[in-house]
Amino acid sequence: MHTPTQSVKRPLKLLPAPGAEQRFVYGGVRRALQLEAFAAFGAATAIYGWCGFSRPAFALLFLAPDLSMLAYFAGPRIGALAYNIAHSAALALSLTVAGFFGSLPMIAAAGLIWIAHIGIDRAFGYGLKYPTRFGDTHLGSIGRH
């Protein structure tokens, strides 16, 4: 029993349902996020082409953000951090906007390639990483859906 001056410590439970740890989205929400990501890929690719930027540069740099996976050699925590920074839509969009507003076409092109890469990754289910292991993402475990 407790007195009114004592506090009762209760665990704060917002989500998920009792007995089930939920670390990723699923079902219709997952599909909506993947469609949204595919739209980002399509839009970035279309704008890149409309601007007349270099197709060889697009092909050469498209997978550049995946070099961040090399950080997994330092462990899953550092690997996830590096991967998530390299796959940050906010950073890619900021770079793109800075390139267009600053009249810096190479920066704008790099940002569009970056957005396209992030979009196709997320469309195929490769989400932001948890620090547990490479396959644990906010969109679910890679290879287990």
SS3 state at 53: coil
SS3 state at 137: strand
**Summary mean pLDDT of the chain:** 86
Query: In terms of DSSP bridges, do strands 140-141 and 136-137 run parallel, antiparallel, or are they unpaired?
Result: antiparallel
Backbone angles phi and psi of 143, in degrees to 5: 85, 0
Backbone angles phi and psi of 3, in degrees to 5: -95, 165
Q: Give the pLDDT of residue 16.
A: 46
The Cα 49–Cα 33 span in angstroms is 24
115-139 mean pLDDT: 91
79-100 mean pLDDT: 97
The answer to whether residues 111 and 91 touch, using CB atoms and an 8 Å cutoff, is no
